[in-house]
Chain A
Amino acid sequence: MASNDTNLTTRPSVAVHAPGTTVSGADSANASVMQLRDVSVYYGSYEAVRGTTMPIQQNQVTAMIGPSGCGKSTVLRALNRMNDPIPGARVSGDVLFHGQDLYAKDVDPIQVRRRIGMVFQKPNPFPKSIYDNVAYGLRINGIKGRLDDHVEEALTKAALWDEVKDKLRKSALALSGGQQQRLCIARTIAVKPEVILMDEPCSALDPIATAKIEDLIFELTNDYTIVIVTHNMQQAARVSHYTAFFTAEVDEAQERHGRLVEFSQTGKLFTNPADKRTEDYITGRFG
């Protein structure tokens, strides 16, 4: 189970815990581990995503769907400050993690990314052994205890242990695409994050590998909170508890901005969406 320590700063600070937030359609039994309040993301003067307000519920899967350019990946990356290295990238509004503003001055982005990990579209293992891929984050984070045990635990949780236990010293690059992606998930969970962000984690995988990752996502909700961006609406419907639908809209100045249109329980969103734009998108009535 992930640690409850919410200290993200390099020096001691007082963590503020937000009370569980209830949003339309959200199950009040689940507290929100993260909260976006009027979050806009800018690249220079360009406002890529405008005014996003939504919770990320604890131990649940939240899917973000929408057409290309709607800002879903941008918002995902704002959740663990992955946009920081992009020159000119800026976030306004509040991205709260246990009530603490992730963009506050004294917050260390490295600590943020340890607590809120990310898995990318293309499996990107290090050109090292399977073992070292998982141990890498543990070593640089100075995690104590028996490294072997931590590696085994992470690989087991990522549903990969049985397939690789006899070849831990072999190169990670020799694994299949699906195995590589599960290795990346193992690498992410090895450092015991609370939240795992996944940016189209299955789009480079075949249906069998996809099914394994989807089963794994379901398993992982026992210990983690997951936010997944996917172009595959059936995947969002299969794996998520909550779905956020984003779209791109053109404003008076003819500029396109990403916008959150609807956030609700997945069953509700896919059977009876509240917004016509959601209905039109998910039923394939584009443009």
Chain B
Amino acid sequence: MSRDSFDEQLDRLTGVLALMSRDAGSAIRGASTALLEVDRDAAERVLAGDTVLDSRRSEVEAMIPEVLVRHQPVASDLRLVVCALRMAGALERMGDLAVHVAKVALRRHPIGVVPEPAMPVMTALAEAAARVADKCAVVLATRDRLDAMQLGLDDDEVDAAQERLLSLLVSGWPYGVESAIDLALLGRYYERYADQAVNVARQVVYLVTGTIRL
């Protein structure tokens, strides 16, 4: 098996991952639109888009055993294949978390889920998560080790926004328990979404350096 055909397969693999990172970013933006602008269509699009992410993950999972069998990759090739498997899992999970956000919006439709006092912090959370998603896609394309390590700091913004949301909920929230649970779960979904993006960035660091950093 020639190096050329191997490179083609690796390019296909990285191509699918790039599409997945783009889709995972669109998913969280769409879910935030659905949530903050009470937009039903946006929520439906997130749900539909998730099946594409799922099938791309399956595509990656199907490609990898074949790559292993045909080429027995080593060194950076091996790291790419191992990382691709983990990245596909993380990106697909990011899509699922965006779906969770969209489903909360759908469940309450046409009533808005986010009451006015929580709007600024929820907007901050949504924007921070979208920024993390964008950087994750960039890092995946550039494989810049420092940018990848930087993503952990961007994730801190998401964590900080989630903290602010929770402190709002525990200091005499006037909109009822149900609303508080919705918002607490939403905070959790955004926070997990950003964590998965950080996982993707960690894989980039491993791919480039060959060492695992915790």
Which A residues are within 8 Å of any B CB, using their own CB? Answer: 233-234, 237, 270-273, 278-279, 282-286
Contacts and interface: CB of A to CB of B under 8 A. Distances in A.
Interface in B45-76: 72-76
A272 B211 CA distance: 8
A272 B79 CA distance: 8
Contacts, number: 32
Nearest to B2: A284
Contacts of A273: 75
Given A271-B75, A283-B74, A284-B3, 4 more contacts: A270-B78, A271-B79, A283-B75, A284-B6
Given A272-B210, A272-B211, A234 B72 contact: yes
B78 A271 contact: yes
A285 B3 CA distance: 7
B73 A283 contact: yes
Nearest to B77: A283
Contact of B210 (A233, A271, A284, A285): A271
23 contacts: A233-B74, A234-B72, A270-B74, A270-B78, A271-B74, A271-B75, A271-B78, A271-B210, A272-B75, A272-B79, A272-B209, A272-B211, A273-B75, A278-B75, A279-B75, A282-B74, A283-B3, A283-B73, A283-B74, A283-B76, A283-B77, A284-B6, A286-B3
Nearest to B1: A284
- A270, A278, A284: most-surrounded residue (chain B CB, <10 A): A284
A85 B211 CA distance: 47
A268 to B, nearest CB: 8
Contacts of A271: 74-75, 78-79, 210
- B3, B6, B75, B79: most-surrounded residue (chain A CB, <10 A): B75
Interface in B93-107: none
A217 B6 CA distance: 31
B71 to A, nearest CB: 8
Contacts of B3: 283-286
Nearest to A268: B210
Nearest to A278: B75
Contacts of B78: 270-271
A281 to B, nearest CB: 9
B80 to A, nearest CB: 10
Contact of A279 (B72, B76, B211): B76
Contacts of B211: 272
Give me the 8 closest cross-chain CB pairs, A-B, nearest first.
A272-B210, A270-B74, A284-B3, A282-B74, A279-B75, A283-B77, A283-B75, A273-B75
B42 to A, nearest CB: 43
Nearest to B71: A284
Nearest to B211: A272
A272 B210 CA distance: 5
A273 B76 CA distance: 9
A283 B80 CA distance: 12
B136 to A, nearest CB: 23
Given A271-B210, A272-B210, A272-B211, A282 B6 contact: no
Contacts of A234: 72
Contact of A282 (B75, B79, B210): B75
Contacts of B210: 271-272
